[in-house]
Structure 1
Amino acid sequence: MATIRQFQVTFDCAEPERLARFWCEVLGYEVAKPPYGFATWDAFDATRPAEERGSWFACADPTGAGPRLFFQRVPEGKTAKNRVHLDVRVGTGLHGEERLAALEAECARLLPLGAVRERLLLDENDSCIVMRDIEDNEFCLD
C-alpha cells in the first residue's frame, strides 16, 4: 500500500504576502506559522538580506485538512497559461440552477477582493466559473 504524503502548493509570484492574504480570504485559510525559530514573518524577514525580505510567505488551512500554500517571489512575471490551477469547490453536490447560484454568489464575494471573472463554462450539471487571482493566476469556482 502506498504511503499518503502531505503536500503544499507553491506559487511563483511578485508579492508573496499580498497573494497569500488574498488566498486566505478565498479559502478561509490563515497566515501560516513563520519559519522555525521566529515569532512572526516580520521577525524572519528582519534577518534576511534587504533584497530577500518579503520573498516568502505562506498560509494554511486552520483545520489542517487542506494543503499549505507557499508563495515565493520570482523575478519574472507570468507569461503563459497555468499548467496547474486550484479549483475552489463551492458547488459540490449541487446541480443546475442551484449550482449556478452558488458559483455566482462566490464569484460576487471574490470580485471585491481583486479576483477577475473570466468566463462561465456552462454544462447542465457541472458548470464552473474560470477566474483569475490578483496576480493573474487562473483558478476555477467549481
Structure 2
Amino acid sequence: MARSVQITFDCADPAALAAFWTEALNYQVQAPPGDFESWEQALEAMGVPPENRNDASAVVDPEGSGPRLFFQRVPEGKQVKNRVHLDVRAAPGLEGDERMAALEAEADRLGAYGATRLERHEPAPPLAAGHIVMADPEGNEFCLD
C-alpha cells in the first residue's frame, strides 16, 4: 500500500508561510477540527495560550490529491541551502519561449506574495526545459518548473 506524504517546513512564522504556499500551490489552510468555525476558536477551546497560537499551521490540496504541507515554528533561522526542494509545476506542457514567459509571469505573481527570484536557467534541449529558482518569504528554495 502506498503511503501518504507530508512535507514539513521549519520556520519563524507558520501562519505567514502557510499563507504564501496557499497562493503558490492553490492550496487552502487546513480547516479547524470538529465544529469550530475558526482556528482561533479551536485553539481557545484547547487552552492554547495566545503566544503559542502561531506555533504551527498546515495547508492542504482542496482536491485531496497533493501532500499536506506542515509549518512548525523553530527558534533558529535557515542556515544553508535546502537539500530537498519543491518544484512548482507552473508551465506544464509548454516549451521554449512560451514556457519561460509563463514561468516569468508566475515568478512575478509570487514575488507579490514575498517570494524572491534567485536565478533563471534557460532551456537546454533535449534534457533541460528551463526553470526559475525562487525562495519563499523565509528563504526556502523552490523551482518554478
Q: Determine if the TM-score, normalized by the shorter chain, exceeds 0.5.
A: yes
Distance in 2 separating the partners of 1:38 and 1:9: 26
1:76 deviation in Å? 0.6
Q: How many residues of Structure 1 are paired with residues of Structure 2 in the alignment?
A: 139
Distance in 2 separating the partners of 1:111 and 1:51: 29
| Residue identity matched to 2:134 | M
CA deviation profile, 1:12-63 (whole Å, cap 9, x unmatched) = 00000110011001111111022x4461221233221454321011111111
Distance in 2 separating the partners of 1:50 and 1:92: 42
Question: Does 1:32 pair with 2:30?
Answer: yes
Identity %: 54
Structure 1 segments (4+ residues) deviating >6 Å: none
* DSSP-derived class of the 1:113 partner: coil
Q: 1:106: which partner in 2? A: 106
Q: 2:15: which partner in 1? A: 17
Q: 1:48: which partner in 2? A: 48
1:66 deviation in Å? 0.7
TM-score by length of 2: 0.89
1:6 deviation in Å? 1.3
Q: 1:89: which partner in 2? A: 89
1:121 deviation in Å? 1.2
Q: Work out whether residues 96 and 124 of structure 1, in 8 Å CA contact, stay in contact via their aligned partners in 2.
A: no
CA RMSD of aligned residues (A): 1.4
TM-score by length of 1: 0.90
Structure 2 gap ranges (5+): none
Structure 1 gap ranges (5+): none
Distance in 1 separating the partners of 2:62 and 2:50: 31
Question: Does 1:69 pair with 2:77?
Answer: no
Distance in 2 separating the partners of 1:25 and 1:12: 19
Q: 1:131: which partner in 2? A: 134
